[in-house]
Amino acid sequence: MTNVIGDRIRDLRDRRGFKQQELANKVGISRQVLSNWERGYTPIDTNGVLKLAKIFEVSTEYILHGREDDSISPAKQIAFALEGDEELLDFFDELSNREDLILLFKQVKPLKPEVVKRIIRYIKIVEDEEANE
């Protein structure tokens, strides 16, 4: 028997770049409980579904049944990756409003947060250099 709920949780966790312990802390459970949900050893409770939906910005319907667009928008993916770096977040906020870059952001593939952060840093370096010319 497949474990589709656990697979969805693991996929969402991986896409956000969370380790099990990090996500467990955000949900307010132990790493072991999260691991058991992901492996299908124990069913997820209602409170867990609600907290995960909020953290991942998806509906509870998606977590339980996979019946909606599960994708995290590219803009949200980038913003998640830049959490904690206010300078890059502010820079990305400026970039995300530029007409010439909107199409680019729509084409972003799911990338690990550290890769997204590196790319935004490179863009910032280029923009800064162009501004100084």
pLDDT digits (tens, 9 = 90+) for 90-99: 888 888 777 7
For residue 108, name the pLDDT band (cuts at 50, 70, 90): low
**In terms of residue numbers, what domain contains 59?**
4-65
State how far the Cα of 75 lies from the Cα of 82, in Å rounded to an integer.
11
Start-to-end CA span in the chain (Å): 61
- 61 and 82 in a single domain? The answer is no
Provide the domain count of the chain.
2
Q: Are residue 79 and residue 28 in the same domain, yes or no?
A: no
Using left for φ > 0, alpha for ψ between -120 and 50, and beta otherwise, residue 59 falls in beta
**pTM score above 0.85:** no
Domain shared by 78 and 61, yes or no: no
